[in-house]
Amino acid sequence: QQQVKQSPQSLIVQKGGISIINCAYENTAFDYFPWYQQFPGKGPALLIAIRPDVSEKKEGRFTISFNKSAKQFSLHIMDSQPGDSATYFCAATRASNTGKLIFGQGTTLQVKP
């Protein structure tokens, strides 16, 4: 019930294309879903987050889509750039929780020029 499953494990996209990463969760009590971006040898950085009262949130080229009934959420990177090449982690938690984020396994994105 605490797992967050992320797919695909790795992804290769051409420059200018759309990158899509999917996550699924089981615990219906989860109500905060952040995405983190991590470059090699660095710590993750918060990219964008969504709460289940909205179905989509957009920040620049990054969009989270949320499907509450399916217990799934996804990250879309529009007009993908080589600089977007990184590992992306989804996470889930209860907004009222103590900061105990449950992370997905990560997706390594490579954007080819």
Partner 1 sequence: DGGITQSPKYLFRKEGQNVTLSCEQNLNHDAMYWYRQDPGQGLRLIYYSQIVNDFQKGDIAEGYSVSREKKESFPLTVTSAQKNPTAFYLCASSKDRVTYNEQFFGPGTRLTVL
- Site residues (CB under 8 A) for partner 1? 4, 6, 9, 32, 34, 36, 41-46, 49, 89, 91, 93, 95, 97-101, 103-106
Cβ-based nearer residue to partner 1, 69 or 98:
98
Q: Determine what percent of the chain falls in helix, strand and coil, rounding each to the nearest 5.
A: 5, 55, 45
Q: Of the two residues 11 and 49, which places its CB atom closer to partner 1 in the complex?
A: 49
Q: Which residue's CB is nearer to partner 1, number 77 or number 89?
A: 89
Q: Min. distance of Cβ 95 from partner 1 in angstroms?
A: 7
Beta-strand relationship, 56-59 and 62-67: antiparallel
- 106 backbone φψ class: left, alpha, beta (φ>0; ψ -120 to 50): left
